[in-house]
A and B are shown apart, each in its own frame.
Chain A
C-alpha cells in the first residue's frame, strides 16, 4: 500500500505517522527528529539529491563551508561547546576524504559527531565510478562506528543509530555513507522515538559499590593525594561533583589540557595543567604524590613523560568509562569503570577525615620557583610576547570567553595564561593535534553558544591551513574574534629545532599574507598589534564589532614555551625559561592587586 508521494511543505518535521518520502527527505526528517538545527557541509554529485531536498526543511540551517575539513571541525566545535552531536555533510570521493582529518580529530578527543556522505549508486559500487571512494573502509579506524546505507528504508533507522552511538558511552564520530540511489528511492518513514536497541552495543556500566569503598579507603589512607581532572569530567558534566569532593577533602587538582575548565582555575585547590608544558609545581607534585585519583583521562604520553619513572610513589585509582583505557599506558591499582559524575556522587560520602594540609602547603611552597609566570612580569619594553597577548585577552574578557585554539605554541600559552573557570569554554585539538582546527571549530561553537564571546587563538601557520573559512564567516554572517599569534615561524617545530636539532630551522620560517588585508579582502575587519599597550584597545574593538574581526598580533619571533618536558623524559626534568636579563622592572599592564600571579 504505497501512499502517493506528498509534497512536503510542512515546516514542523517531527511527526510520528508514517509517510512516504524520498531517501533524501528521510535524511533531513531524521536529522530534525534528532534535534539538529544546523549542519555544516559542501554539496557534490553523489549528495545532490539530499541537498535538493534541503529546501523542504527550512528549520535546518546549512552552512556552506569552503573545504570539507572545515565542515568536520565546525561540527566538532559545535559538539564540544554544546555537548550535543554535531553534524557535517559532504559528497562522495574527495568530499568524503576531505572530512577525514576532522573525523580523526573528533575520534581522538571522543567528540560526538555524525558525518553524512553521499556515495555513488549502489549498482556501480566497486567499479571505480566517478568520485567513488571506499569511505567506510577509509574511516574504519577513525570512527566509533560507520555505516554504508544502500536502501532508502534503512536511512531513517541508521541515522537514529548513528546519533545514539555517537553520543552514548564514550562519545565519538559516526559516519553514515548513503548511496545516491538510496537517496532517490522512495520509502515509508516513521520516526521511532523509542530507545535504540542494538544487541552488540551496550555502553552503560554500573559502578561496583565494593570498589567505591576500596577507593575511599585508599583516599583516606593517603598523605599526598592528587586528583587529575581530564576531559571525561567535562563530558560527564561532573564539575559540580568534583567540586564537592574537593571541598570535602581539600585534595589538590591537576588538569590535563582537555580537562581545563573542568575544575575552576581560580579555585584554591586548582594546581593548573600537568604534562609536557604543565606547570613545574604540578609535575613535581605528581612525582611526589602517594595517590593519584585520575578522573576521565587516559595517561597520554604528553601527560606522563617517561612511563618508567612516572609517579613512582603513587598508587593509582583510574575512574574511566572505557575499559579499553585501563592499564593501557600506566598500570593502575584500582580501576573504577563508569560515568565519572556517578562515581564521584557515590564516592564522596565515603571519604571522611582526609587531611592533606601539609601536602597542600608543600605544593604551595614549591610554586615560588615557577618560571612559567615570570613572563608576565617582564618589563613592557615595547616588545610583544604571545603570553602577554593571552594574559591580557584573559583580563579583557573577564576570563569568560569561549576560546578555541589551534595547535602549537599559542595553544600551550593559552593553556598556561588563560584561566578557564568553566567547562566547555576551551576547545582545542588535544589528541590528534590538528592544525587548522581553531577557526572552523570556533565557527561551529558559535552556533552552540550564540551569546558567548568566541575567540579563535591560532598561530600564523595553522591559521593558514583553514583560513579559507573566513569567506564562510563573511557569507554566513558568523561572528568570531580571531587572534593570530604571528611570529613568522612554525613556532613549536622551531622550538624543537632550537632545543633538539642544533638550531637548524629547516622549513619553519613561514611567510604569511598580510592578515589585515586578508580580512579586508573578505569584507571583514583586520587590526594589527605590534606593542603590548595596543592589545587592550584592539581586543575591545574586536568585541564591539558585529562581524568577524581578525587581529594580527606580531609577537616575538623566537620565544619558546616553558617549562618543557622533552618527549619521553622524566616528568620533573623540565627545561626552564632562562632568567630574564632585565627583571628589575615590574610593569605588566592590567595587573591587579588581588591577582595571585
Chain B
C-alpha cells in the first residue's frame, strides 16, 4: 500500500430531507460540477425525517469550496449546509481491517493494535479482524504497520464530523440565525 498524497479537501456537513432520491441528487451535483468526493457518509438524525451527510470533497481553493457550499445550498432538499473545514471539530473514520496472521505472529499484531487503540473483533486461525476508529491519519498509520503481515480486506465508513462546543446543531451558514428546528418547523 503506497501512502496517498493528501489532496486539498474540505469537509461539509449538510442536513437533508430523509426522502428517496436525495442522496442521488447530491451525488449527481458533484458529478455534474466535476467535484471529486473523497468520502461521503449519510445517516438519520435524532430528528425524524432529517438525515445528516458528512462530505469530504476535493477543493482547489476556498472559492471552489464556497461554490460547492452554494450549489448544495441551492438544492431544494438540502436544509442546511456548513463548511466545517476551518472550524474546531471532531472528525472520525471507522475501519475494519482483515489481516492475514497466524498464531505465531498474532501477539505482534495485537501489540500494534494496542499502540493504535484498535480492537480485535474477530479471530480465526489464519486471520484477524481489527476495528479502528480515528482520523484518517491514524487509520493510515495502522494500515501501514499491518501491511507487511498481509491485509486481506479493508473497509472504511468515510468521515463523520461534528463541530466542537455547545452548539446543538450545524447552523445554516447562509442564515446563521436560523436553527435546524426552526427550519423544519417552518
* A137 close to B79 (CB less than 8 A): no
* B76 close to A331 (CB less than 8 A): no
* B66 close to A327 (CB less than 8 A): yes
A328 — which chain B residues lie within 8 A by C-beta?
67
A593 on the interface (CB 8 Å rule)?
no
CA distance A323 to B24 in the complex (A): 22
Add 8 more A-B contacts to A322-B74, A323-B66, A323-B70 (CB < 8 A). A165-B76, A199-B17, A199-B79, A199-B183, A200-B76, A323-B74, A327-B67, A331-B63
Residues of chain A whose beta carbon lies under 8 Å from any beta carbon of chain B: 136-137, 140-141, 144-145, 148, 165, 197-202, 322-324, 326-328, 331
B16, B67, B175: residue with the most chain A Cβ atoms closer than 10 Å: B67
CA distance A31 to B21 in the complex (A): 26
- Provide the main secondary structure of the chain A interface: loop
B66 — which chain A residues lie within 8 A by C-beta?
323, 326-327
A137 — which chain B residues lie within 8 A by C-beta?
24
B32 on the interface (CB 8 Å rule)?
yes
* B70 close to A324 (CB less than 8 A): yes
Contact code string B12-23 (vs A, CB < 8 Å = 1, else 0): 000011000100
CA distance A326 to B69 in the complex (A): 12
Q: Shortest Cβ distance from B27 into chain A, in angstroms?
A: 10
CA distance A199 to B175 in the complex (A): 12
A144 — which chain B residues lie within 8 A by C-beta?
76
* A199 close to B186 (CB less than 8 A): yes
Q: Within the complex, which residue of B24, B67, B184, B186 is in contact with A324, where a contact is CB–CB below 8 Å?
A: B67
CA distance A327 to B73 in the complex (A): 16
A165 — which chain B residues lie within 8 A by C-beta?
76
B21 — which chain A residues lie within 8 A by C-beta?
136, 148
B32 — which chain A residues lie within 8 A by C-beta?
141
Q: Shortest Cβ distance from A106 into chain B, in angstroms?
A: 16
* A327 close to B63 (CB less than 8 A): yes
When C-beta atoms are compared, the residue in chain B nearest to A335 turns out to be: B66
* A200 close to B77 (CB less than 8 A): yes
B145 on the interface (CB 8 Å rule)?
no
* A-B CB contact pairs (8 Å), 29 listed: A137-B24, A140-B24, A140-B28, A141-B32, A165-B76, A197-B186, A199-B17, A199-B79, A199-B183, A199-B184, A199-B186, A200-B16, A200-B17, A200-B77, A200-B78, A200-B79, A200-B183, A322-B70, A322-B74, A323-B70, A323-B73, A323-B174, A324-B67, A324-B70, A326-B66, A326-B70, A327-B66, A327-B67, A331-B63
Q: A136-B21, A199-B184, A200-B17 are in contact. Are A324 and B76 (CB under 8 A)?
A: no
B17, B28, B76: residue with the most chain A Cβ atoms closer than 10 Å: B76
Contact code string B28-55 (vs A, CB < 8 Å = 1, else 0): 1100100000000000000000000000
CA distance A145 to B16 in the complex (A): 15
A145 — which chain B residues lie within 8 A by C-beta?
75-76
CA distance A322 to B21 in the complex (A): 24
Residues of chain B whose beta carbon lies under 8 Å from any beta carbon of chain A: 16-17, 21, 24-25, 28-29, 32, 63, 66-67, 70-71, 73-79, 174-175, 183-184, 186
Q: Shortest Cβ distance from B63 into chain A, in angstroms?
A: 4
CA distance A140 to B66 in the complex (A): 22
A202 — which chain B residues lie within 8 A by C-beta?
174-175
A201 — which chain B residues lie within 8 A by C-beta?
76
Q: Shortest Cβ distance from A496 into chain B, in angstroms?
A: 26
* A326 close to B76 (CB less than 8 A): no
* A324 close to B63 (CB less than 8 A): no
Q: Shortest Cβ distance from A112 into chain B, in angstroms?
A: 15
When C-beta atoms are compared, the residue in chain A nearest to B71 turns out to be: A324
CA distance A202 to B184 in the complex (A): 12
B184 — which chain A residues lie within 8 A by C-beta?
199
CA distance A198 to B17 in the complex (A): 11
CA distance A322 to B32 in the complex (A): 17
CA distance A202 to B66 in the complex (A): 18
A322 — which chain B residues lie within 8 A by C-beta?
70, 74
CA distance A136 to B67 in the complex (A): 25
Q: Shortest Cβ distance from B125 into chain A, in angstroms?
A: 45
When C-beta atoms are compared, the residue in chain B nearest to A205 turns out to be: B174
CA distance A145 to B74 in the complex (A): 10
A331 — which chain B residues lie within 8 A by C-beta?
63
* A324 close to B74 (CB less than 8 A): yes
When C-beta atoms are compared, the residue in chain A nearest to B15 turns out to be: A200
B71 — which chain A residues lie within 8 A by C-beta?
324
Q: Shortest Cβ distance from B87 into chain A, in angstroms?
A: 20
CA distance A200 to B73 in the complex (A): 8
CA distance A165 to B77 in the complex (A): 12
CA distance A141 to B77 in the complex (A): 14
B74 — which chain A residues lie within 8 A by C-beta?
322-324
Q: Shortest Cβ distance from A364 into chain B, in angstroms?
A: 37
CA distance A324 to B75 in the complex (A): 11
Q: Shortest Cβ distance from A154 into chain B, in angstroms?
A: 12
Q: Shortest Cβ distance from A545 into chain B, in angstroms?
A: 46
Q: A198-B76, A199-B183, A322-B74 are in contact. Are A140 and B67 (CB under 8 A)?
A: no
When C-beta atoms are compared, the residue in chain B nearest to A174 turns out to be: B76
Q: Shortest Cβ distance from A503 into chain B, in angstroms?
A: 35
B183 — which chain A residues lie within 8 A by C-beta?
199-200
A198 — which chain B residues lie within 8 A by C-beta?
76
B25, B70, B79: residue with the most chain A Cβ atoms closer than 10 Å: B70
When C-beta atoms are compared, the residue in chain A nearest to B29 turns out to be: A141
CA distance A148 to B24 in the complex (A): 14
CA distance A90 to B28 in the complex (A): 25
When C-beta atoms are compared, the residue in chain A nearest to B14 turns out to be: A200
* B75 close to A140 (CB less than 8 A): no
Q: Shortest Cβ distance from B10 into chain A, in angstroms?
A: 15
Q: Shortest Cβ distance from B178 into chain A, in angstroms?
A: 9
CA distance A148 to B20 in the complex (A): 10
